[in-house]
Structure 1
Amino acid sequence: MIQGLYEAHLPVSDMDASVAFYKALGLEVYDKTPRVTFLWIEKGKSQLGLWKSDHVSTPYHPSIRHIAFYVSLEDLQCSQKWLHDNGFEVRDAFGVAAKDQPLVLKNNNNYHAAIYFYDTDGNSLELISPLKLDDKMTVNYEDKMTLSCWLKLNS
């Protein structure tokens, strides 16, 4: 029945600056009102709602103020340079320094590669690509592993 995530929402303090930020990430504005702007992540499939709010200083927690954008593994491997070239600053995450990302995360038998950064209001953003899903095969993994190390050990 469920086939994907259709929308996510984030609080923002400066709508114009936030819209410019997300447009620079490649999202397309399709509706804008004084209180909310909607951008397509993938046209017709997923969208992001940016809400003008006084509550942007709510402390970060992974259950709120976080969005992970799916990207291909090929794009993720180029993401460090792409983010830098477009003025986005990668942040340290899960014990892996910004300069060493993308990193690899393990959840049960699922492995993902990801890179982390913030938007203009400190909302946590992630570019993520699955490496192995529900795989019972033995893989080489350790905490704080970088994608380059993963690829060398698991190719």
Structure 2
Amino acid sequence: MIKGLYEAHLPVSNLENSIVFYKKLGLELAYEKGKVAFFWIVKGESWLGLWESDSVQLKYHPSIRHVAFKIDEEDLERVAEWLNSIGIEIRTEFGFTSEHQPLVLPNNPHAHAAIYFSDPDGNSLELMTPLRLDVDEKFKMMSLEEWKER
């Protein structure tokens, strides 16, 4: 019955600034009215709702204020360069510098590559792709470069 995730929502403090930011990421503005805007992630399949609010500065936790956008594996090689080219700073997650990202996450029995950054309100954003599924192999988190050299 369930075919995927259709929508996710994030709080923002300034809707106009956030619209500019998400357009820089290449998302298409689907709807805007008052203090809410929706962007297509994949048109007709998934979208992101941004809600201007005075209650944006909630303490961060991965279960809230986090969205992971799927990218294709072939885009991994240039994702860091692309983020830098549009003025978006890569977060240094899990003790890895921005130069050592994307990261390969050991979600055994799966492996995913991901890179993290924040929107203007500190909402956690991630660009992510599966590298392999259903292979039972334990390994430590590493850079994509280290993954390829294994």
Q: TM-score range by the shorter chain?
A: over 0.9
Match of 2:45 in 1: 45
TM-superposition CA deviations, 1:29-78 (whole Å, max 9, x none): 11101121011000000000000111111011000000000001111221
CA contact (8 A) 1:76 1:127 kept: no
Q: For 2:115, what is the secondary structure of its paired residue?
A: strand
Q: For 1:93, what is the secondary structure of its paired residue?
A: coil
CA contact (8 A) 2:108 2:135 kept: no
CA–CA distance in structure 1, aligned partners of residues 93 and 103 of structure 2: 8
Match of 1:142 in 2: 140
Q: For 1:106, what is the secondary structure of its paired residue?
A: strand
CA–CA distance in structure 2, aligned partners of residues 94 and 133 of structure 1: 22
CA–CA distance in structure 2, aligned partners of residues 90 and 50 of structure 1: 21
Unaligned runs of 5+ in 2: none
Match of 1:119 in 2: 119
User: Which portions of structure 1, spanning 4 or more consecutive aligned residues, are displaced by more than 3 angstroms?
Assistant: none
TM-score by length of 1: 0.93
Match of 1:13 in 2: 13
CA–CA distance in structure 2, aligned partners of residues 78 and 55 of structure 1: 35
Unaligned runs of 5+ in 1: none
CA–CA distance in structure 2, aligned partners of residues 129 and 26 of structure 1: 18
Paired-residue identity, %: 54
